[in-house]
């Protein structure tokens, strides 16, 4: 069950007595003196849930109607109410609007086992599309190709080609979900494409991410102490993403290499460790399952917690390398590929080490 929604409304106190009403077994009451409403309804044959609301009586009544507690109470008298029941009850009242389905889509993504970063970025993009195009109360069957094209091909936006294509892919994913669940009979995203003729050269060209230099890596390893010293050493020596480093298990640490299943693409990679890193890892080995338990908890927490991990690294870089160096942890991955190329490894060999499916992606990381 979703947590109750609490809204506030600032009004002066009322002297009217509290009133109580019963609707088909569901109990609701509202006290105008405190401006607090309460609803009691069954969520299982032997279990009653109590939800409270703070605000005006008019808003309370609208909240009760929107949540459709009466239907949930009828279901709860026969069996346990589940999330699908909650969604269906609200849909009966407000219909399958784009905003409502965006919420359901987000829930499906969460339950699908996709990485938290993918769930967050995809959900944010769909909500953004709905808000920007003013589709909150629209139904998916009324959305056509022209609406999606107007969004991804908006000439006023400075989005790059790759960003527009990514946005279109997210929208297509959403409408495939709508069609597969019967909320729409067509997929308007299937025939929409990004129009490159509307973009400038700057928008067509991919963003170039600069790798750390050898001198910068050496300075970071020399000046940074503690856990982040090891983080940086692993990133520079193996090219692992920050999420893969944060989630390292001690079972991943072999005598002379790391064995990792990457979180982004679920690829199995074996990356050699230089002797100094193997020695440091063995010195730190303990009985815990994870190498960095606190950082793992942060990375797997909320989006804000996960982003704070990257923010901590960027802060370290600014302190050590100066305010003009605005490189992220991912730049260590570029450093690894570039150094491997300089040392004579082929693109095929490097692609295997970093978990890329093709060398075209790997070549983007090579700045040699």
pLDDT given at position 14: 39
Q: 135 with 100: CB under 8 angstroms?
A: no
Tell me the per-residue pLDDT of 180-214, one tens digit each, with 9 for 90 and over. Answer: 988 888 899 999 999 999 999 999 998 888 899 99
Chain mean position to CA 348: 31
> Which of 276, 277, 272 shows the shortest CA–CA distance to 257?
272
Gap between the Cα atoms of 216 and 208, Å rounded:
18
Angle 215-220-222 (CA atoms, 0-180°, nearest 5)? 95
Using CB atoms within 10 A of its CB, is residue 39 exposed (0-12), middle (13-18) or buried (19+)? buried
pLDDT given at position 94: 64
Sign of CA dihedral 307, 313, 318, 324: negative
pLDDT given at position 19: 41
> Which of 63, 363, 117, 98 shows the shortest CA–CA distance to 242?
117
Cross-strand bridge partners of residue 236: none
Gap between the Cα atoms of 365 and 337, Å rounded:
6
> Which of 90, 124, 89 shows the shortest CA–CA distance to 106?
124
Tell me the per-residue pLDDT of 243-280, one tens digit each, with 9 for 90 and over. Answer: 999 999 999 999 999 999 998 888 999 999 999 999 98
Torsion-angle region of residue 44: left (phi > 0), alpha (psi -120 to 50) or beta? beta
Using CB atoms within 10 A of its CB, is residue 15 exposed (0-12), middle (13-18) or buried (19+)? exposed
Using CB atoms within 10 A of its CB, is residue 308 exposed (0-12), middle (13-18) or buried (19+)? middle
Q: Please identify every stretch of the chain with a pLDDT value under 70, giving residue numbers as ranges.
A: 1-25, 93-94
> Which of 144, 142, 150 shows the shortest CA–CA distance to 191?
144
Gap between the Cα atoms of 117 and 99, Å rounded:
21
Q: 100 with 66: CB under 8 angstroms?
A: no
| CA gyration radius, the chain | 27
Share of the chain above pLDDT 70, in %: 92
Q: Using H for helix, E for strand and C for coil, what is the string for 125-137?
A: HHHHHHHHCCCCC
pLDDT given at position 5: 39
Gap between the Cα atoms of 148 and 98, Å rounded:
13
> Which of 97, 273, 66, 280 shows the shortest CA–CA distance to 184?
97
Gap between the Cα atoms of 238 and 278, Å rounded:
12
Gap between the Cα atoms of 158 and 164, Å rounded:
10
What token pair was written down for 175?
């409408």
pTM of the model: 0.68
What are the chain's domains?
A: 19-92 (no CATH), 98-204 (1.10.150), 214-365 (1.10.443.10)
């Amino acid at each position: 069950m979703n947590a109750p929604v609490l809204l506030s409304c600032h009004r002066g106190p009322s002297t009217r007595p509290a009133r109580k009403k019963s609707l088909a077994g569901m109990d609701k009451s509202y006290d105008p003196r405190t401006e607090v409403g309460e609803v009691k309804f069954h969520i299982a044959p032997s279990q009653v849930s109590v939800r409270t609301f703070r605000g005006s009586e008019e808003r309370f009544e609208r909240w009760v109607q929107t949540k459709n507690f009466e239907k949930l109470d009828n279901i709860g008298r026969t069996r346990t109410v589940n999330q699908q029941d909650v969604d269906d009850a609200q849909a009966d009242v407000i219909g399958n609007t784009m905003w409502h389905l965006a919420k359901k889509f987000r829930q499906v993504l969460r339950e699908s086992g996709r990485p938290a970063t993918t769930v967050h970025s995809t959900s944010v993009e769909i909500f953004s599309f709905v808000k920007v195009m003013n589709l909150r109360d629209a139904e998916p069957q009324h959305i056509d190709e022209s609406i999606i094209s107007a969004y991804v091909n908006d000439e006023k936006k400075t989005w790059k080609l790759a960003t527009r294509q990514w946005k279109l892919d997210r929208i297509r994913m959403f409408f495939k979900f709508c069609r597969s669940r019967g909320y729409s009979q067509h997929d308007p995203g299937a025939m929409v494409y990004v129009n490159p003729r509307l973009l400038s050269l700057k928008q067509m060209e991919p963003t170039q991410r600069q790798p750390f230099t050898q001198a910068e890596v050496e300075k970071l390893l020399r000046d940074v102490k503690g856990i982040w010293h090891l983080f940086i050493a692993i990133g520079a020596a193996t090219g692992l993403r920050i999420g893969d480093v944060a989630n390292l298990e001690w079972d991943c640490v072999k005598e002379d290499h790391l064995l990792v299943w990457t979180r982004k693409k679920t690829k199995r990679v074996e990356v050699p460790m230089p002797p100094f890193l193997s020695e440091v890892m063995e010195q730190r080995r303990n009985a815990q399952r994870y190498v960095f338990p606190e950082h793992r908890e942060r990375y797997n927490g909320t989006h804000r917690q996960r982003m704070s991990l990257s923010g901590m690294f960027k802060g370290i870089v600014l302190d050590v390398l100066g305010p003009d160096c605005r490189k992220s942890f991912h730049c260590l991955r570029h450093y690894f590929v570039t150094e491997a190329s300089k040392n004579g490894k082929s693109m095929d060999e490097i692609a295997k080490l970093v978990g890329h499916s093709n060398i075209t992606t790997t070549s983007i990381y090579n700045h040699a």
